[in-house]
Amino acid sequence: MSKQQKLLAGLSAGLLATVAVAGYFWWQINQDHGPPTFAQGNGRVEADLVDVASEITGRVAKVFVQEGDLVQVDDVLARIKTDTLEAQKARAEADVASAESQAEQARAVIEQREADLEFAQKELERATNLQDRGFGTQEEVDRRRSARDAARAGLAAARASLTAAERQADAARARVSEIATRIEDARILAPVRGRVLYRLAEPGEVIASGGRIATLVDLSRVYMEVFLPTDQAARVAIGAEARISLDGIDLVIPANVSFVSPEAQFTPEHVETPDVRADLMFRVRLRVPQDLVERNIEYVKTGMRGIGHVRLAGSEDVPWPEDLTLSDTPPVQRGDDGGE
C-alpha cells in the first residue's frame, strides 16, 4: 500500500471514530431518562408582615422600639397619653360611688316603708275587728285601709328607686370598665414574635384610631415561594420534603411544602391548547420548620434570595444531591462576595 493510501485509510478511520462518538452522545441525550426527581425554582426568604395599630385616638407618649429590634408577644411597642382618659375614669368612678350611695338610701327607705306598711296593716285589722264587734265605724276602717294602701305604694316606689339606683351604679361601673380598657389599649403590644421592619410613629404625633405604630416581620411563619411548571407542580404533595439554598451563604436549610396555589400564574385566563397549558406556572410555598427558626432567630432575615428545591412524588427513595446536604451550623458569609 502506498503512503498516500495509508494516510487516507487513517483519516477515514479517525472520521468514523468521531462520528461514532458523536452518535453515541446524541443517542444518550435523546434517551428518555424518566421524570425528574427534584424540581427547583428561584425565590426569596419571606415572612408575613403585621401592621400594629392603635385602637384609640391620642397623642403618642413614647415609642419603645427601633427598626430591627426583635420583640416577643405582648412586648410594649408604644404608649399613648392617657391624661384625658384618666380624668374620665375618675369621673366615672365618682358616678359609681354616687349611684351606690343612692342605692343605700333607697334600701333604708324600703326598710322604713316596710315598717310603715306593717303598722298600717295592723291598724286596719284592729279597726275592722272593732267594727265587727260594734265599737268602730266604717269611716275609721276606710281611713285605715287608705293608710295601708298608701304605705304599700310607698314601699313599691322605694323598691323602684333602689332598682334605678342599682342600674345607674351598673352603668357607671360599665363606663369605668370601658375607660379602663381604653387606658389598657393605650399600651400598644406586639401581637407576634418578630422583628421591627418599620417604626411608623414618633412621640408627640397625634394618631387616629387605626393609626399604625409599627410593622413587624412575623417570624413564626418563615418561607420561600417558588414557581413551578404544570408537569412538576402536579407531582408536588403538601408536606413534601424541600430544601432551600441561599445565594452567597454556605447554608442549606430544610423546608416542607405548605401550600400549592390552585391557580396558575403568568398565563391567559382561559387556556385551550396543550402547548399553552404546558407553560403554566404554579406558586409553591416552602415553609421553614419553626424550631429551626427559633434556634437561629438572630440570623433570620427576609429578602434573602436563593433557590428552593422540592422532592417530587415518586422519588422518595432517591437521595439528595451532595450540594444540597443540610447544614448544621448558622450561616457563614463568604468573604467579600456575601449575599444580601
Is there a domain that residue 23 lies in?
A: no
Distance CA 233, CA 282 (A): 6
91/69 same-domain check = no
Distance CA 207, CA 28 (A): 69
275/139 same-domain check = no
The residue type found at 63 is V
Domain coverage including residue 121: 83-185
Distance CA 274, CA 135 (A): 117
69/106 same-domain check = no
What is the pTM assigned to this prediction?
Answer: 0.65
CATH number at residue 201: 2.40.50.100
Is there a domain that residue 123 lies in?
A: yes
Is there a domain that residue 4 lies in?
A: no
Phi, psi dihedrals of residue 194, rounded to the nearest 5°: -170, -175
For the chain, 340 residues long, give each residue's pLDDT as a single digit of tens. 554 544 444 444 444 444 444 444 443 444 444 457 899 889 899 999 999 999 999 999 999 999 999 999 999 999 999 999 999 999 999 999 998 898 888 888 888 888 888 888 888 888 888 877 877 788 887 888 888 888 888 888 888 988 898 899 999 999 999 999 999 999 999 999 999 999 999 999 999 999 999 999 999 889 999 988 888 888 999 999 999 998 877 788 899 999 998 887 765 444 444 554 456 788 999 999 988 888 888 888 888 889 999 999 888 788 888 888 887 655 544 333 333 3
203/64 same-domain check = yes
* Number of compact structural domains in the chain: 3
226/329 same-domain check = yes
42/67 same-domain check = no
Is there a domain that residue 142 lies in?
A: yes
